[in-house]
A and B are shown apart, each in its own frame.
Chain A
Amino acid sequence: MPIANFNAIPITGPGDQIPVLSRYDPIWGFYTFRQLLENTFNDAQVYHSRAVFQIDGAFTCDAEEVDPDADPAGALIALTTKYEALEALFSAAGAAARPIDTADWFTATDARCIQLPTPIADKLGHRLHAIPLGLTLIEGQYALTLRYSATLGEPQVPSSILLVNGFALNDAQVQIDPPKPIVTRHRMVAGEGSMVNIRNYTQPTISVSGVMPSRAGELLSERAVALSQSLLAGFMELKRVRWSPTGLVVTTLYSNLPVDSPSVDIRPNDRGVSVSVKGLA
């Protein structure tokens, strides 16, 4: 439950007919907090939950210490300035690039995340970071109160990450083709079935594909270049990194895997580079 204890502070703006119990934060104004926990069941019929946070807030003349009667235009500017600052916070997070290092994802250093106001915290008391999903300015008496509704999502890191020569690939797909027989068939004049001659078995093939993020304005990230340079040696190492309660667990899947037909697909508008490479075990 990402919430500690909400103190009840009624909104006291002159436009409020019915006070709402809320907290106050310099960025969020007066706000109330709501959490929806949705469970997604996988093929094994076990679920994994993901939270959506809703913050309904209001910027009021009282809180901004402006007098809407004496200076209605100035009061409106003061309130819209607060809202625009919040909107800019959401826009900046939505436009931010993925941190290059996966370990930084959805932490305080991840520019894609917005820190939720105190006292919202996880069960360990840590402040929460969330990704922006929506921000709506609600119609009302703008000169007196600006109300908004913000929706944020719980960011979650994948349970497993693939490392190719030490470089992380996002959205990785690994196709393993085990050895298969090299077969020659002969149909028989009489009798049923075929006569099958097995010459040998193929070597297993491991095809890897994934995405490496790039910074804004960067067509080919330094990491993608470094990965491609490491593949020039003709071998690759595949490792699986898993998050666990005790830390990262690294398992080597294949080492010294001969490299075959590596390629990169540069997609500037997606701010990423698709990498695919085949390994012959």
Chain B
Amino acid sequence: MASESAKFVNNLGTLSFSNCLIEIADDWQWSGGIVTRARRIRLTGVVRRAEFDAFDEMSSTRAIGVGVATEPGQRGVLTLPWTSIAKMKLQSIDMPGDTWLHTVNVTAEFVDDDPDSSKYECSFFGITLINPRFVLQLPFRSVRDEYVQMPISGGTIINTLDATFGAIRSRQTYDNMRCVLSGTHLIEEDFDVQKTVEILAHRGGTNNVASTGLPPGYPAYFNMADLSPELATHLPLTNLWVIDSTLAWSFERDQADVTVQMECPPQLLA
């Protein structure tokens, strides 16, 4: 359909389209019981060069990554003649070969795939983890089987149903619980590697971690509510301590995969 104007506003500026054509398509993707909806909007219209330049920080040598040289673009608000849609992604801008001075015909594609869920972020004492995962080993009593040597003398018949030839089974008490928190941490310009290492090791008495119960240098205990109040409602774990952690830094992408392995006494879920 034809329209007078539409505009897209995000942190980089405003991109106004005049005399534009609008195409809207909705997709639903089914994966098991989860349905994901994505709305794609294509605008073909005239934009002013001055506005376009704000979205295109083209230079002869440009750094990739986030927060460097150019400010990263964020989701924005797309205003159509009859409605406006927040948190839209500007997916692409296509400028066909044409003669132009101050305006140009472009085709811009937007995607509205902002999920209603799975936007959760977690913080491990100041280290923000996006796309977090939390793997929890539930309390259990492990089983230990010991086996006796079967007789090998000639003529002996081994009855496989005879418990005499079976395993000697014993059951352990509940062991400590292990849980692993992992996620992606974006490396900012002022990233302090020593401070991050101290937080991940989480030893009491270090510069960024206070001692809790044990002498300085020993693990600092904490509760799930300190990490994630939302998770703590059903996982009210207490006396967690860090047993292992890693930070795998993809240097040129300015992001790191952080994994923190924790342990706590066996506890019930709420």
Q: Is the CB of A48 within 8 A of B66?
A: yes
Given A123-B53, A173-B249: A180 touches B243 (CB 8 Å cut-off): yes
Given A34-B95, A161-B252, A194-B176: A44 touches B55 (CB 8 Å cut-off): no
Contact flags A36-74 to B (C-beta < 8 A → 1, else 0):
111101111111111100101000000000000000000
Given A6-B100, A37-B92, A180-B243: A51 touches B203 (CB 8 Å cut-off): no
**Chain A interface secondary structure, helix, strand, loop or mixed?**
strand
Given A1-B56, A242-B68: A181 touches B89 (CB 8 Å cut-off): no
Q: Is the CB of B95 within 8 A of A35?
A: yes
In the assembled complex, the CB of B13 is this many whole angstroms from the nearest CB of chain A, namely: 13
Check if B46 is an interface residue, CB within 8 A of chain A.
no
Check if B61 is an interface residue, CB within 8 A of chain A.
yes
In the assembled complex, the CB of A200 is this many whole angstroms from the nearest CB of chain B, namely: 9
Given A39-B92, A46-B72, A193-B175: A122 touches B252 (CB 8 Å cut-off): no
Interface size grouping (class) on chain A: 35 or more
Q: Is the CB of B69 within 8 A of A33?
A: no
Q: Is the CB of B66 within 8 A of A201?
A: no
Residues of B contacting A3 with CB < 8 Å?
95, 100
Given A187-B175, A193-B175, A194-B175: A128 touches B58 (CB 8 Å cut-off): yes
In the assembled complex, the CB of B18 is this many whole angstroms from the nearest CB of chain A, namely: 17
Given A8-B99, A43-B130, A196-B176: A106 touches B61 (CB 8 Å cut-off): yes
In the assembled complex, the CB of B124 is this many whole angstroms from the nearest CB of chain A, namely: 12
Given A122-B59, A198-B218: A156 touches B99 (CB 8 Å cut-off): no
Q: Tell me which residues from 196 to 222 in chain A have a Cβ below 8 Å from any Cβ of chain B.
A: 196, 198, 201, 204, 210
Q: Tell me which residues from 160 to 205 in chain B have a Cβ below 8 Å from any Cβ of chain A.
A: 172-176, 184, 186-187, 189, 193, 196-198, 200-201, 203
Q: Is the CB of B92 within 8 A of A32?
A: no
Check if B75 is an interface residue, CB within 8 A of chain A.
yes
Q: How far is the CA of A254 from the CA of B193 in the complex (A)?
A: 9
Chain B residue with Cβ nearest A179: B201
Q: Tell me which residues from 90 to 134 in chain A have a Cβ below 8 Å from any Cβ of chain B.
A: 105-107, 122-124, 126-129
Residues of A contacting B9 with CB < 8 Å?
none
Q: Tell me which residues from 221 to 270 in chain B have a Cβ below 8 Å from any Cβ of chain A.
A: 242-255, 263, 265-266
Q: How far is the CA of A228 from the CA of B187 in the complex (A)?
A: 28
Given A129-B60, A157-B61, A242-B189: A1 touches B53 (CB 8 Å cut-off): yes
Residues of B contacting A45 with CB < 8 Å?
74-75, 89
In the assembled complex, the CB of A187 is this many whole angstroms from the nearest CB of chain B, namely: 6
Q: Tell me which residues from 175 to 196 in chain A have a Cβ below 8 Å from any Cβ of chain B.
A: 175-181, 183, 187-194, 196
Q: Is the CB of A39 within 8 A of B75?
A: no
Q: Is the CB of A41 within 8 A of B89?
A: yes
Check if A234 is an interface residue, CB within 8 A of chain B.
no
Q: How far is the CA of A183 from the CA of B250 in the complex (A)?
A: 30
Q: Is the CB of A183 within 8 A of B243?
A: yes
In the assembled complex, the CB of B167 is this many whole angstroms from the nearest CB of chain A, namely: 19
Q: Is the CB of B101 within 8 A of A1?
A: no
Q: Could you tell me which A residues sit within 8 Å of B by CB distance?
A: 1-3, 5-8, 21, 32-39, 41-51, 54, 56, 105-107, 122-124, 126-129, 154-162, 169-181, 183, 187-194, 196, 198, 201, 204, 210, 240, 242-245, 249, 253-254
Which 3 pairs, one residue from A and one from B, show the smallest C-beta to C-beta distance?
A159-B65, A32-B97, A158-B252
Given A37-B94, A39-B90, A240-B251, 8 other A-B residues pairs in contact with their CB atoms under 8 A: A33-B97, A36-B93, A107-B60, A123-B58, A158-B252, A161-B251, A176-B247, A201-B203
Q: Could you tell me which B residues sit within 8 Å of A by CB distance?
A: 49, 52-53, 55-69, 72-75, 89-101, 104, 130-131, 139, 172-176, 184, 186-187, 189, 193, 196-198, 200-201, 203, 217-219, 242-255, 263, 265-266
Instruction: Pick 10 A–B contacts, CB within 8 A, sort by A.
Output: A7-B99, A39-B89, A107-B60, A159-B68, A160-B65, A173-B250, A174-B251, A179-B197, A198-B218, A201-B217
